[in-house]
Amino acid sequence: MTHRPVQLLCSTGTFSRFPDQTDYHSILTFGPELEVDGLELMFYPDWSAKLDQIVKELRASGLKFPVIHAEKGIIPALMTEKTGEAEQGWQWMQANCVLGKLLGASLLIFHLWGYPTYDEELQHNLRYLKECKEIAEDNGLQLAIETVPCKYNDPLSNIRHILDQEPDILIALDTEFLAMHDQLEAAYETDWLWQHNCVRHIHIKDYDGSSYSTDNTRRYLHPGEGQINFLEFFDILNERNFSGNISLESSIVNQDGSKDIYKLKQSLSWLQEMRLHFNAYNS
């Protein structure tokens, strides 16, 4: 069987950080240096007021943005009873989708649950899914639900529940978060997850048992720094006829704000080898 070539992307979240390093100019600085098929554009809340200027400069750069990672606070904002926050959530959703449309993106990565309630009220969150999906589609985007961390259930069970209600929804897997819930092997073996080209996007991060340092700051591991067997992982993708995007999401922003671009390029180079091997095997 001939597959659509897997695209290698780099998340702009690898060299940005909320709330102190969200300046879109870093994309114009580092984007042209990266040997990838395109960038997964991380949307930040402070972009809404200057969306026209951001779009103008990003389009002029010649960079490709096939995927938008939606603002993570959309669903928490929609669920709140605080005056104005639900409206803010819808404004963020609209701004994300307009950004994607104007930049020629085709996929929107979406968090259907998140801090502070996590997946406690997933059934309630699902009330907003259809309208969010329609807003995305009105702007030429397909919406993909990401397997982000859970507190009350687990990512695969939540995804199964979502698919039972919205059978045509797409899925974005995250290797770190699946490993965090000890569900990588389960994902490999779960037939329904791979049917109908449901999985369209995969975030690549490693994991070694903890996502936090001893001082409780968030840490991101690059492929090879943790316990995930990525060679096996790519073999599984081949067996499952995967034909979507793989996107490096491991941060290179240090605690002092400096950025290790060399490390980013190393990780992307290794993933490029894996991708080329995968595509050559399936050509």
| Structural Rg of the chain based on CA atoms | 18
Tell me what the mean pLDDT of segment 107-113 comes to.
98
Residue 171 has pLDDT above 50, yes or no: yes
Q: Rounded CA gap, 165 and 160, in Å?
A: 9
Question: Residue 38 CA to chain centroid, in angstroms?
Answer: 13
- In percent, the amount of the chain with pLDDT more than 70 equals 97
Please give the model's pTM, rounded to 2 decimal places: 0.96
Q: Rounded CA gap, 180 and 156, in Å?
A: 12
Tell me what the mean pLDDT of segment 216-230 comes to.
95
CB 43 within 8 A of CB 95: yes
Counted residue by residue, the chain has a size of 283
3-state secondary structure the chain: CCCCCCEEEEEHHHCCECCCECCCHHHHHHHHHCCCCEEEEECCHHHHHHHHHHHHHHHHHCCCCCEEECCCCHHHHHHCCCCCHHHHHHHHHHHHHHHHHHHCCCEEEECCCECCCECCCHHHHHHHHHHHHHHHHHCCCEEEEECCCCCCCCHHHHHHHHHHHCCCCEEEEEHHHHHHCCCHHHHHHCHHHHHHHCEEEEEECECCCCCECCCCCECCECCCCCCCCHHHHHHHHHHCCCCCEEEECCCCECCCCCECHHHHHHHHHHHHHHHHHHHHHCC
Q: Tell me, what's the pLDDT at 283?
A: 62
CB 152 within 8 A of CB 120: yes
Residue 142 has pLDDT above 50, yes or no: yes
Mean pLDDT rounded to a whole number for the chain: 95
Say how many C-beta atoms besides its own lie within 10 A of residue 282's C-beta.
17
Question: Residue 27 CA to chain centroid, in angstroms?
Answer: 17
* Angstrom distances, CA of residue 43 to CA of 23, 69, 199, 230: 11, 6, 22, 28
pLDDT tens, position by position, 224-281 = 999 999 999 999 999 999 999 999 999 999 999 999 999 999 999 999 999 887 766 6
Residue 1 has pLDDT above 70, yes or no: no
pLDDT tens, position by position, 23-67 = 999 999 999 999 999 999 999 999 999 999 999 999 999 999 999
Q: Rounded CA gap, 23 and 50, in Å?
A: 11
Residue 14 has pLDDT above 50, yes or no: yes
CA dihedral 283, 271, 262, 38 (to 10 degrees): 60
Q: Rounded CA gap, 51 and 28, in Å?
A: 15
- In percent, the amount of the chain with pLDDT more than 90 equals 89
| Domain spans of the chain, in order of start | 7-281
Q: Tell me, what's the pLDDT at 213?
A: 87
**Selected residue with higher pLDDT from 255 and 107:** 107
Q: Tell me, what's the pLDDT at 6?
A: 93
Q: Tell me which CATH homologous superfamily contains domain 7-281.
A: Divalent-metal-dependent TIM barrel enzymes (3.20.20.150)
Question: Which residues make Cβ contacts (< 8 Å) with residue 123, sequence separation at least 6?
Answer: none
pLDDT tens, position by position, 95-106 = 999 999 999 999
Q: Rounded CA gap, 255 and 239, in Å?
A: 39
